[in-house]
Amino acid sequence: MMAAIELVEKEEKIEESTAMRKLMRIGFETYIGNLYKQGKVTLRETPDYLN
């Protein structure tokens, strides 16, 4: 996981904490997308989770 953080930090020229937040956000968006695909959340609910 640290390698991923360091890669984002280097490529985007951002601080470690910002890279961590960015990766967590991407992961959570993917997670919500998967819940939608499984029918566990509706399209209407997804923005509530992503705000």
pLDDT of residue 14: 98
- Give the integer Cα–Cα distance in Å for 6 and 49: 27
CA 42-40-22 angle, to 5 degrees, is 80
Rounded to the nearest 10 degrees, how much is the dihedral formed by the CA atoms of 17, 15, 8, 38?
Answer: 30
40 confidence band (pLDDT: 50, 70, 90): very high
pLDDT of residue 23: 97
> What's the mean pLDDT in 2-21?
97
17 confidence band (pLDDT: 50, 70, 90): very high
pLDDT of residue 18: 98
